[in-house]
Amino acid sequence: MNPVTLPTLPSQDEALSLIEATIKQSQAEEVFVSLSASESALSRFSENQIGQNISKNRFNLTVTSYFGKRSASASTTELDSEAIAQTLRRSEDLARFAPEDPEWVPLLPPQTYEQRTPAFDLVTANLSPLERGKIIQKVCSLCRRAGVDGSGTLSTSVSLQAIGNSEGLLACDRETEADFSFTARQEDGSSWSNRTAWGIELLPIEEITEGVIQRAIASRHPREVQPGDYTVIFEAAAMSSLLPWVIWNLDARAADEGRSFMSRTDEKGKFIGNRVGEQMFSSLVQVRRDSAHPLLQSGRFFGDGLSDRYLEIIKDGVPQTLSYSRYWAQQQKKEPTGSFYPIVMLGSENHLADLIEQTERGILVSRAWYVRYVNPRTLEVTGMTRDGTFWIEDGQLAYPIKNLRFNQSLPEMLSNLEALSQVQRCGSSVIPGCKVKDFHFSSITDSV
């Protein structure tokens, strides 16, 4: 790898000093300041050759000024003192004339966050375009040797988030991330994978590439399977496009106001609260918010200052809590939770191959694509399979099949969960492969 040097982002001490200096200049009754900075680099390749190198440096300072229940925000992308002073004055001028916020909540006092340091990998932070090019060159070489067309991206980033307010809240985190997305095509066959890690050396890029190539070749000449209800094994990447829809919709306000699958009704259809504590899913479903998970090791707080602490969301198939904003928690006399992010679903020691071997007949789905709402109230969604869908017969991948459109209630999907595989990181979530019964496919699609 290239020699290790320091990234050019502000240091944590510099970021916190900038936040404190901005707060001191404020003329508002109260003020909240947030600073985000990042350096990202991406290399894109297609048809087995690199075609693009991009690097971005971003800086944003946002000031929210308060006068009573009136507030307004202004931002700047410049670091100099004059730009920051102008941003403060603009925020204050707007706040004086803003309408009162009916959902106003007071600023947070100083918070206690987890005593840990988010993952920050200097090799990832300083990976050069040349080093990224060498990695992609190896990927493209494997593709050419196998006779497939390979395309995708390799990216790295380093980011810093700092916040502070006039009540004494002050916090800063920084972290790194590496991401590899790869698609291989041969004739009418295709396969795809996307993996993320906090360090570039944690991505098994050659192993991923070889697996995707083999799956693309095997997916050629797909056969038709009639739409209907099938046992389905979702690879982790496919499940990562479905599970978050359930977690995002565990919103307390929507549930309490009768707008959610988590809303509870009486015999007359009247809304009478939420369904926390009910057995709604398979007992295999265990979901947590766990930013300290070894595969994540991400930030300790949210943008508003609430702690991104460990939280059990679903235990043994039973929702344990809902997501409470500070305003709705105040209304319901609950503790605010902040967002349910990042998502960690527990898996098992089984490999995906074990799930396939235990399946007499079913369908393997590598990717769930273009997922959209059909009915937000029941959380029914639609989407399509893509990039490698296979028929399973007697515990083996028998042959590739044409892609299918699905229309499926996701709460029902989780209640039909039968088995889990080992977990892997997909984006900012940790997800296992999942086997579910009676998953509904509504039609055949020409998507490839």
Tens of pLDDT, residue by residue, the chain (448 residues) = 444 444 578 999 999 999 999 999 999 999 999 999 999 999 999 999 999 999 999 999 999 999 999 999 999 999 899 999 999 999 999 999 999 999 999 999 999 999 999 999 999 999 999 999 999 999 999 999 999 999 999 999 999 999 999 999 999 999 999 999 999 999 999 999 999 999 999 999 999 999 999 999 999 999 999 999 999 999 999 999 999 999 999 999 999 999 999 999 888 778 888 999 999 999 999 999 999 999 999 999 999 999 999 999 999 999 999 999 999 999 999 999 999 999 999 999 999 999 999 999 999 999 999 999 999 999 999 999 999 999 999 999 999 999 999 999 999 999 999 999 999 999 999 999 999 999 999 999 987 6
Neighbours of 194 (CB within 10 A): 17
Amino acid letter, 292: A
Helix (DSSP H) and strand (DSSP E) numbers for the chain: 11, 21
Domain ranges, ordered by start, for the chain: 12-212, 222-448
First vs last Cα of the chain: how many Å apart?
37
Q: Are strands 404-409 and 380-385 parallel, antiparallel or unpaired?
A: antiparallel
Total-model pTM: 0.94
Amino acid letter, 362: G
Residues forming a β-bridge with 179: 155, 196
CA 192 from centre of chain? 18
Structurally, what CATH architecture does the domain formed by 12-212 represent? 2-Layer Sandwich (3.30)
Q: Are strands 228-234 and 361-365 parallel, antiparallel or unpaired?
A: parallel
Specify whether the CB–CB gap between 413 and 342 falls below 8 A: no
Specify whether the CB–CB gap between 124 and 198 falls below 8 A: yes
* 324 vs 320: CA distance, rounded Å: 13
